[in-house]
Amino acid sequence: MSGQRTTESDPYFPANGDPRYRVHRYEIALDYRPGPNRLAGTARLSAIVGRAPLTEFALNLAEFKVGRIQVNGRAPHYTHRGGRLRVRPAKPLPAGAAFTVEVHWSGNPKPVRSPWGGLGWEELTDGALVASQPVGAPSWYPCNDRPADKASYQISVNTPSAYTVVAGGRLLTRTTKASTTTWVYEQAAPTSSYLVGLSIGMYQTVLLAEPGLGGVPQTAHVPAHLLPKFSRDFARQPAMMRTFEELFGPYPLGEYAVVIADEELDVPVEAQGLSLFGSNHVDGVRGSERLIAHELAHQWFGNSVTIGDWRHIWLNEGFAKYAEWLWSEHSGGRPAQELATTAHRLLATQPQDLVLADPGRKLMFDDRLYERGGLTVHAIRCALGDGPFFRMLREWATSHRHGVVTTAGFAAHVARYATEPVDGLLASWLHEGSLPPLPTP
């Protein structure tokens, strides 16, 4: 596992996360009633103190009622204001020490406010889903909410038996008692808090690629009335998975699931081992296939290879955008060069004030970041040539599997595959606002 762990607060979201410790495991047990939208939860966090002793530490948790907190089995002093849970243990925690935190909370979950609207737990017409990027995870569980702090997760959800519960990872058990069912999922891979996905709804479960046939197990959870259209729209996902494994290296997780919510979503959402789509992304004519490719590619770029902080978001979105172009090229559609030409023409008509390597919080989800990110990857391909480029890409995904990365680390990685200096190329695409010329092979 590669790691470039950051020890500073995220410059875009200084109130989220606490770099003085790291969590290596969450065990979360939820009881959820969809009708009244009532959630009660218990979380046990196993964590390690950083290089300095801790007299207090912080977790992020939305405005729930906190019932009890324990640190190493003892009650601490704590305050809970503004979505931040400040905990002062009975005894200071020594540098490097392992410790556990247990939190009990309850209330009516709702999205947390952000510059992009509500994020996190969203109550649907019948059920719920979680879409947390970038800071919505505290809307439903207490966490050290920073992308570089990656942990394994076990998530247990008890809810009325009519509902299907889907979370990222492997379904360990499903146990029905009276009118409720408890679903327990295990995600062993190191996972960022914003990538913990959850969906509760009325779904039919179908297999897209069966376990035991040598490929990646792929399941889908779909409202029954959308199954005919879904079957056409997602028919090429297994081939997409095989193509991306050839290009990026082995799929980095144990399984992959997709959920189709029974209502429209603005955009699909990636989570660890899971992608969430809206009913508007299912049209029966493969109208959203590029988005299917985009979300699948995030399992390598963003989910397994994770950014150290949100300044580096182009390393997630630029690579997922370029994966759309690669899938088009490999599946008989338009080649990447043609798609790059279209993207460049579009960007040339727009403001030239976005710096890809540090776009600022306001522009981190701007469409220009996605398009310019894809163009940057294409410019690197043109400079290196296909052989070295695809070796570079595969090695980036495999050597940093489950790790944490930065733009500077990526630039150094690219330089190792270049026969001529690429500093100027990377500087113009990553660190300057003006749009460089269209790259050509």
> Are the CB atoms for 103 and 131 separated by under 8 Å?
no
In this predicted structure, the answer to whether residue 6 has a pLDDT above a threshold of 60 is no
What mean pLDDT do residues 32-40 have?
97
Backbone angles phi, psi at 33, to 5 degrees: -115, 110
Average pLDDT of the chain to the nearest whole number? 96
The pLDDT of residue 212 is 66
- Helix H segments across 91-248? 227-233, 237-248
For residues 20 and 168, membership in a common domain is answered with yes
Q: Tell me the per-residue pLDDT of 82-111, one tens digit each, with 9 for 90 and over.
A: 999 999 999 999 999 999 999 999 999 999
Q: Tell me the per-residue pLDDT of 354-404, one tens digit each, with 9 for 90 and over.
A: 999 999 999 999 999 999 999 999 999 999 999 999 999 999 999 999 999
Helix axes 314-330, 336-348, angle to 10 degrees: 130
Tell me if 337 is assigned to some domain: yes
Cα dihedral sign, 14-15-20-23: negative
- Which CA distances in Å does 387 have to 330, 391, 395, 399, 418? 16, 6, 12, 18, 11
Tell me if 273 is assigned to some domain: no
70/87 Cα distance (integer angstroms): 9
Looking at 214-310, which runs of residues are DSSP E strands?
A: 218-222, 256-260, 269-271, 274-277, 306-307
* Residue that is last in its domain, among 164, 182, 198: 198
In this structure, what token pair is assigned to residue 106?
Answer: 């309850």
101/45 Cα distance (integer angstroms): 5
Q: Tell me the per-residue pLDDT of 290-307, one tens digit each, with 9 for 90 and over.
A: 999 999 999 999 999 999
Q: What is the CATH number of the domain that holds 334?
A: 1.10.390.10
Q: Which residue has the tokens 């494994």?
A: 245
In this predicted structure, the answer to whether residue 4 has a pLDDT above a threshold of 70 is no
Q: pLDDT grade, residue 9 (50/70/90)?
A: confident
> Are the CB atoms for 229 and 283 separated by under 8 Å?
yes
Tell me if 113 is assigned to some domain: yes
User: 294: annotated binding-site residue?
Assistant: yes
Tell me if 395 is assigned to some domain: yes
Identify the burial level of 321 via C-beta atoms within 10 angstroms of its C-beta, where 0-12 means exposed, 13-18 middle and 19 or more buried.
buried
Tell me if 244 is assigned to some domain: no
314/326 Cα distance (integer angstroms): 17
Reported as half-sphere exposure (CB side, CA atoms, 13 A), residue 400 has a value of 29
Q: What is the CATH number of the domain that holds 116?
A: 2.60.40.1730
In this predicted structure, the answer to whether residue 308 has a pLDDT above a threshold of 70 is yes
Q: Tell me the per-residue pLDDT of 241-280, one tens digit each, with 9 for 90 and over.
A: 999 999 999 999 999 999 999 999 999 999 999 999 999 9
The pLDDT of residue 441 is 82
Tell me if 227 is assigned to some domain: no
For residues 26 and 170, membership in a common domain is answered with yes
* Residue that is last in its domain, among 147, 181, 198: 198
Reported as half-sphere exposure (CB side, CA atoms, 13 A), residue 302 has a value of 28
For residues 167 and 316, membership in a common domain is answered with no
The pLDDT of residue 3 is 41
For residues 36 and 178, membership in a common domain is answered with yes
β-pairing, 218-222 vs 204-209, is antiparallel
Strands of the sheet containing 198-201, edge to edge, are: 120-124, 127-131, 198-201, 164-167
What is the domain extent for residue 60?
1-198
The pLDDT of residue 5 is 45
User: 317: annotated binding-site residue?
Assistant: yes
- Which CA distances in Å does 96 have to 48, 54, 435? 6, 10, 46
Contacts of 216 (CB under 8 A, 6+ apart): 209, 241, 245, 251, 255, 256
For residues 7 and 127, membership in a common domain is answered with yes
For residues 179 and 51, membership in a common domain is answered with yes
* Residue that is last in its domain, among 135, 166, 198: 198
For residues 44 and 178, membership in a common domain is answered with yes
Tell me if 260 is assigned to some domain: no
Tell me if 222 is assigned to some domain: no
DSSP 18-34: -TTEEEEEEEEEEEEET
Cα dihedral sign, 212-217-218-224: positive
The pLDDT of residue 215 is 87
- Which CA distances in Å does 115 have to 133, 280, 426? 12, 24, 30
230/224 Cα distance (integer angstroms): 10
Contacts of 145 (CB under 8 A, 6+ apart): 13, 16, 17, 60, 135, 137, 138, 193, 194
For residues 171 and 320, membership in a common domain is answered with no
For the ranges 64-73, 333-342, 432-441, the lowest mean pLDDT is seen at 432-441
Contacts of 202 (CB under 8 A, 6+ apart): 126, 127, 162, 163, 164, 223, 224, 262
Question: Cis peptide leading into 160, omega within 30 of 0?
Answer: no
Q: pLDDT grade, residue 440 (50/70/90)?
A: confident
Strands of the sheet containing 77-81, edge to edge, are: 57-60, 84-88, 77-81
What mean pLDDT do residues 312-318 have?
98
DSSP 205-221: EEEEE-TTSSS--EEEE
For residues 181 and 311, membership in a common domain is answered with no
Count up the domains in the chain and report the number: 2
